């Protein structure tokens, strides 16, 4: 079985995952802080284009 990792920090995911939709794709993160960071990084990237 392949271990799943957080889309933001690459930490191993346990049973308490958070699903976040970024750019139309659903990704899994390990905590609320990573969910917020991933959303902010996406917004910054979109506005800079």
Q: Specify the length of the chain in residues.
A: 49
pLDDT in tens, 2-48: 789 999 999 999 999 999 998 899 999 999 999 999 988 887 776 66
Cα(7)–Cα(34) distance, integer angstroms? 8
**Which pLDDT score is estimated for 48?**
64
**Which pLDDT score is estimated for 18?**
95
**Which pLDDT score is estimated for 29?**
96
Please report which helix (H) or strand (E) contains residue 33, including its range. Answer: helix 32-48
Q: pTM score, two decimals?
A: 0.78
């Amino acid at each position: 079985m392949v271990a799943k990792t957080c889309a933001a920090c690459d930490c191993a995911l346990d049973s308490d995952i958070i699903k976040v939709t970024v750019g139309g794709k659903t990704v899994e993160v390990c905590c609320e802080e990573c969910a917020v960071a991933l959303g902010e990084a996406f917004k910054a990237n979109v506005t800079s284009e």
